[in-house]
A and B are shown apart, each in its own frame.
Chain A
C-alpha cells in the first residue's frame, strides 16, 4: 500500500527543505481544495504533503508603499474581507472570490489556484492583468517570476524541485486605475470558466493610459493579450477601440472543443467578456460600484 507523509513547516526555509527532501514526490498543502480532491480521484499520489498554513508570511497580506504582497496560502475569503486590497484591486479580489464556492473559499488560496496550473483558474487572468509578480523560494534562494510566465501548460508550472510559491505581489498603481474580471459559466456559481477575462486599466481624463489583459480557458495557459491592451491604450473606450481589443482577444484564443464549450463559442466569448470587463474597470475608476460576476 502506498503511504503519504504529512509534514508541517513553520518557516519558508523549512518548507523548501521538506520539498527538496521529497525529491519530486512532495506536494504543497495550502487550502487543499485541489490537492485532496486529486488524491481522492487518484490523479495525484504524493509521497509527502507539506502543509504551509503555519508559515505566517504565507497566510498574511502586507502593504508596502502601495504594493500588496499576498501570502500564497491566504484563504480567498480572507482576501475578500481585506477592504484596502479590495479597493485597490477589485478585479483580482472578485476573481479570487469566484474560486470554488463560498465554503471552498474558506480554505482555497490564490497561490494554490495558480500552482494547480489550470488554464481555467479564475484568479489567474485577473493576476495577469494586474501585472502580478510571483515570489518563489527554493534551494538556490529567491526569484521573482511574472505571473503570465509561471505556468507552462495544463497542470504544469515552472517551479523546480524544492521550489515553492511564497507570495504574490501586486504592484503599486497610479491614481485613476482599477480592474475587473468576468468569466462565462453556464450556471451562476459552482462552475468552471468556459472563458475568463481580466482587464486592468489606468485612465487619465477619460483616456486609457495603461492597460493589461489576461485571458483564461482558451489556451494551454492563461494568456497576456498585449494586442488587446494596445488597442485600448490611447482610446476613450469607444466602440472602435473595444471592437479592436475584442478582436485581439478572439485572435489570441487557441481553445479546444470540449464538453465545456466549442472553439467557436470560446473565441466569440473572449471578445464579449473583454468589452464588458473593460467597461466595468472604467466604471470603477469613475467610482461606480459593480457587483455580481455573471456577464448578463
Chain B
C-alpha cells in the first residue's frame, strides 16, 4: 500500500515545489481556532429563517405575512416582492452557467414553487425560536399542480410543464410549444453512421444515474450587515466571494462597490458553494431592519434546496474492429437540470469520449427541467455521468474482445494532436502515461483474489483558467505576504506559498498567504474548475516576479548601477554581468530595511485572464468482492492514478485523488435522492443519504503521473475534478467481473445489486 510518484520532470529541479510542509491554515483547523461560516456573529444580530414550500409544484396565489409581523420579536418578513425581477441574462458560475431571471426565482419563489424546499418567504427575528414561530404564522395560499420528478417522464408530451416560456433551444425543427426540455445540443466528428457500418463489434447499452449531493460537511451559513449609508458587509462560506458580491449586487440592485464580502473558512464545497442561497436574503433582511442578520441552513435544508449534482440517462454505442481499434462512438445524454435550465449536460457530452482518439463520433444532449432543486456544480460537473456509461461500455467491449481493459484503452488513447469531438485539439497530455502507470503498478500486476473482481476505468476533465488577481508585499523585516482572493478548499494556500517561495528563493515559512475580501484584492473568479493552483498560482508567480523586478531596481539604486546588471538568486539581489562580485549580495531583509530610502514599500501585483489550462486524465483500479446473498460490496483495494502536471504540494494532490475516489465510490454504491409519490425528498439527511464512512473503504492508493502543462511556469494542471470521473465505472466494472452481472442503474446498492444477482442466478448457474 503506497503512494507512488512518477516525477522525472520535477525531481531535483526545485527547492520548495514538490515538498510537503504543513499547510498555513492547518494548525487553526485542527485546533478549532479556524472560523467557518456559522462561527461569525455581530452584536445585536437577528436570526433569519426561511419558509420553504411543502409542495413539489404549486402556484403561489398569495402570501399573508401580517400575523408573523405582528409577533413580538419579529423584525422583518420578506418575499419575492422584496427583490426586483431580473432580466433573461446568462452569467457564468464556476463551470456552469445560470440565468439571472432564474436565480432570483430560485432564492425566493415568485410565481410558483417549483420544488419541495423552494424558499417562499424569510423572516428576521430576535432569536431562532421566535423566527421559527414566525414561519408558522405565515399563511401561503398554494394551488398545488401536478409535478414531475423523473427526466424521462418530464420529456414526454403531456408532462406537467414547469415554465410556460421554455421553448427547447437547439431543437430541430424549432420548438413552437413550451416543454421541459430546455436545450438540445449536438457534437459531431467524422461520420458515425459509416463508422458503425464498418465496425466488427458493436456494443450498445442504456444507463441511468441518480441525483447526488456534494455532501460538504458544513451547511450554508452567512452573516450580513447593512449600514444606513448603504454599505453592506457579508461573511459567507463560499467558493467565490466575488461571485457572491456580483450576484447579490444584481439581485439587490446595488453597486458591487457597496458590498464587501469576506469568505470564511469553508467546510467543503466541491462546486456546490459557487451559487447564492442565503446571502441575498440575509442582506435584504439586514437592509430592512438595520441590524446584522445571520442565517444558517439545517442539513435538511441543504439536501432539499441546495444544488445537488444531476442524475441522468445515458445511451452509449461503441463500434470497434476485432483488434480493439474503436471506429465509431455515440452517446446520448438526458440530464436533470432541476427546477431551472442549466444542467452540466454540455460538459457531460464533451467529456464522454475525450479520453480516446476516435474518428467518427456523434454526441447528443438534452437539458431537462423537473420539480427538483436546481442542480449546482459538483467536481467535474456532468463528466462522471457520461464516463460511467462510456467506461462501462468500454469494459464490455474489452470482455467481448478478450482484451486487457488497459490495453484496449491504450490502443485508443488520446495523445498530443488528438482532435476531440467538441473541436479542441490536445496539446501535451498524459492519458497514455497514466494508463501505463496503472498497468505497471504493483496493484495491477498482483493477482485478483479468487471470488473478487477488478475494475478499471478512465476519466477526463478540461480544467479552467479564468480571472485572477494577486499581490505580494515585503514586510519591514523581509518576510513576505502573498495576497489572493480564492477561498482555500484543497490546500491552495500551501501551494501558492510554495510557488512564491520557489520564485523568490526564500523559506516557505517566510511567506504568509492571505485570502483577502472583495474590497482588498482585485477580482478573482470562483474556486472551481480546478483553477486556483493553476490560474491564481500564475497570478501569484507573476506578482512575485513584479516584486522581484522592483527589488532589483532597489538594489541597483543602492549600488548605483544599472538595474539590468542585477540578478535575483536564492532570495538575494546580486550584481551580474561586468559587475559580478563588485558588491555584497542584498537579501530581502536588507532591501526591506532600506525600502524607505529607495522608493518606499516594495510590492508586486498581477492581474490576468489565464488561458492554457492543461486537461487532466485519471485511471482508477479497484478490487472488490460482492456478498452473493446480500448484495453488499466490500472494496478491498483502490488505486487512483492521474496526470497531475506538477504536484506542487504532493500531499494535497494525493488528497484530491483520494477524496474524489471516495465520493465516486459513494455515488456508485449508495448515494441517491429518493422522492415519494408527492414529489417530496424522503432522505434529506446523512442517515438515509448514504455517503461512505471511513470504515467502508481501504486507504486509497495514489499514483501521481507528472506530465507538466507547458503553459504554466511550473507545469501545473488542475487536479481536483478528474478523480471523481472514473470511480463509478471502475466499481461497476469490478462488480461485473466479480459476479458476471453488469449493472446499468445507479446506485449499485445492496437491495438493487441483490435483485440483479437473483435475477441472473439461473443464467449464472447454467454458465457454471
User: Which residues of A are interface residues toward B (Cβ below 8 A)?
Assistant: 1, 184, 186-192, 194, 258-262, 264-265, 268-269, 272, 294-296
Question: Complex Cα distance A264/B696, Å?
Answer: 25
Provide the residues of chain B in CB contact with A258, threshold 8 Å.
682
The reply to whether A265 and B755 contact each other, CB–CB distance below 8 Å, is yes
With A261-B751, A265-B751, A265-B755 as contacts: A184 and B690 at CB distance below 8 Å: no
The reply to whether A1 and B133 contact each other, CB–CB distance below 8 Å, is yes
Check if B630 is an interface residue, CB within 8 A of chain A: yes
Provide the residues of chain A in CB contact with B688, threshold 8 Å.
192, 259-260
Check if B571 is an interface residue, CB within 8 A of chain A: no
Q: Nearest-CB distance from B149 to chain A (Å)?
A: 14
The reply to whether A295 and B627 contact each other, CB–CB distance below 8 Å, is yes
Provide the residues of chain A in CB contact with B749, threshold 8 Å.
186
With A265-B755, A295-B632, A296-B630 as contacts: A189 and B687 at CB distance below 8 Å: no
| Contacting residues of chain B (644-686) with chain A, CB-CB under 8 angstroms | 669-670, 674, 682-683, 686
A265 to chain B: closest residue by CB: B751
Q: Nearest-CB distance from A145 to chain B (Å)?
A: 29
Provide the residues of chain B in CB contact with A194, threshold 8 Å.
750-751
The reply to whether A187 and B696 contact each other, CB–CB distance below 8 Å, is yes
The reply to whether B750 and A186 contact each other, CB–CB distance below 8 Å, is yes
The interface centre, meaning the residue of B627, B630, B686 with most chain A CB atoms within 10 A of its CB, is B630
The reply to whether B627 and A296 contact each other, CB–CB distance below 8 Å, is yes
Provide the residues of chain A in CB contact with B682, threshold 8 Å.
258-259
With A259-B683, A265-B755 as contacts: A272 and B629 at CB distance below 8 Å: yes
Check if B227 is an interface residue, CB within 8 A of chain A: no
A-contact 0/1 string along B735-768, CB 8 Å cutoff: 0000000000000011100110010000000000
Check if B693 is an interface residue, CB within 8 A of chain A: yes
Check if B692 is an interface residue, CB within 8 A of chain A: yes
Provide the residues of chain A in CB contact with B629, threshold 8 Å.
268-269, 272
Question: Complex Cα distance A294/B687, Å?
Answer: 17
With A192-B687, A295-B630, A296-B634 as contacts: A186 and B755 at CB distance below 8 Å: no
The reply to whether A259 and B674 contact each other, CB–CB distance below 8 Å, is yes
Provide the residues of chain B in CB contact with A186, threshold 8 Å.
632, 669-670, 690, 749-750
Check if B129 is an interface residue, CB within 8 A of chain A: yes
7 closest A-B pairs (Cβ-Cβ)? A265-B751, A188-B695, A272-B629, A259-B682, A259-B674, A296-B627, A190-B693
Question: Complex Cα distance A88/B754, Å?
Answer: 35
The reply to whether A191 and B687 contact each other, CB–CB distance below 8 Å, is yes
Q: Nearest-CB distance from B745 to chain A (Å)?
A: 14
Q: Nearest-CB distance from B16 to chain A (Å)?
A: 39
| Contacting residues of chain B (691-746) with chain A, CB-CB under 8 angstroms | 692-693, 695-696
Provide the residues of chain B in CB contact with A259, threshold 8 Å.
674, 682-683, 688
A189 to chain B: closest residue by CB: B695
Q: Which single member of B133, B683, B693, B755 contacts A188 (CB below 8 Å)?
A: B693
Q: Which single member of B130, B692, B695, B754 contacts A265 (CB below 8 Å)?
A: B754
B675 to chain A: closest residue by CB: A259
Provide the residues of chain B in CB contact with A260, threshold 8 Å.
688
23 chain-A/chain-B pairs, Cβ below 8 angstroms: A1-B130, A1-B133, A184-B632, A186-B749, A187-B695, A187-B696, A188-B695, A189-B693, A190-B687, A194-B750, A258-B682, A259-B674, A259-B682, A259-B688, A262-B751, A265-B751, A265-B755, A268-B758, A269-B630, A294-B634, A295-B632, A296-B625, A296-B634
Q: Which single member of B674, B692, B751, B758 contacts A187 (CB below 8 Å)?
A: B692
With A259-B683, A262-B751, A268-B754 as contacts: A187 and B630 at CB distance below 8 Å: no
A257 to chain B: closest residue by CB: B751
Question: Complex Cα distance A194/B751, Å?
Answer: 10
Q: Nearest-CB distance from B604 to chain A (Å)?
A: 48
Given contacts A187-B690, A187-B696, 18 further A-B contacts (CB under 8 A): A1-B133, A186-B632, A186-B670, A187-B692, A188-B696, A189-B693, A190-B687, A192-B687, A259-B683, A260-B688, A261-B750, A261-B751, A265-B754, A269-B629, A294-B632, A296-B627, A296-B632, A296-B634
Provide the residues of chain A in CB contact with B750, threshold 8 Å.
184, 186, 194, 261, 265
Question: Complex Cα distance A294/B629, Å?
Answer: 13
Provide the residues of chain B in CB contact with A189, threshold 8 Å.
693, 695
Question: Complex Cα distance A294/B634, Å?
Answer: 10
Q: Nearest-CB distance from A119 to chain B (Å)?
A: 15
The reply to whether B630 and A272 contact each other, CB–CB distance below 8 Å, is yes
Provide the residues of chain B in CB contact with A188, threshold 8 Å.
693, 695-696
The interface centre, meaning the residue of B627, B629, B670 with most chain A CB atoms within 10 A of its CB, is B629
The interface centre, meaning the residue of A186, A191, A272 with most chain B CB atoms within 10 A of its CB, is A186
B692 to chain A: closest residue by CB: A187
Q: Nearest-CB distance from B580 to chain A (Å)?
A: 65
B686 to chain A: closest residue by CB: A190
Q: Nearest-CB distance from A182 to chain B (Å)?
A: 10
B634 to chain A: closest residue by CB: A296
Provide the residues of chain B in CB contact with A269, threshold 8 Å.
629-630, 754
Provide the residues of chain A in CB contact with B630, threshold 8 Å.
184, 269, 272, 295-296
Q: Which single member of A187, A262, A268 contacts B670 (CB below 8 Å)?
A: A187
Provide the residues of chain B in CB contact with A294, threshold 8 Å.
632, 634
Provide the residues of chain A in CB contact with B692, threshold 8 Å.
187
Q: Nearest-CB distance from B311 to chain A (Å)?
A: 16
A294 to chain B: closest residue by CB: B632
Q: Nearest-CB distance from B137 to chain A (Å)?
A: 13
Q: Which single member of B130, B133, B683, B690 contacts A191 (CB below 8 Å)?
A: B690
Provide the residues of chain A in CB contact with B670, threshold 8 Å.
186-187
Question: Complex Cα distance A263/B749, Å?
Answer: 15
Question: Complex Cα distance A257/B751, Å?
Answer: 11
Question: Complex Cα distance A296/B627, Å?
Answer: 6
Question: Complex Cα distance A272/B758, Å?
Answer: 13
Provide the residues of chain A in CB contact with B754, threshold 8 Å.
265, 268-269
Question: Complex Cα distance A296/B682, Å?
Answer: 28
Q: Nearest-CB distance from B51 to chain A (Å)?
A: 15
Question: Complex Cα distance A294/B632, Å?
Answer: 9
The reply to whether B129 and A264 contact each other, CB–CB distance below 8 Å, is no
Question: Complex Cα distance A74/B627, Å?
Answer: 35
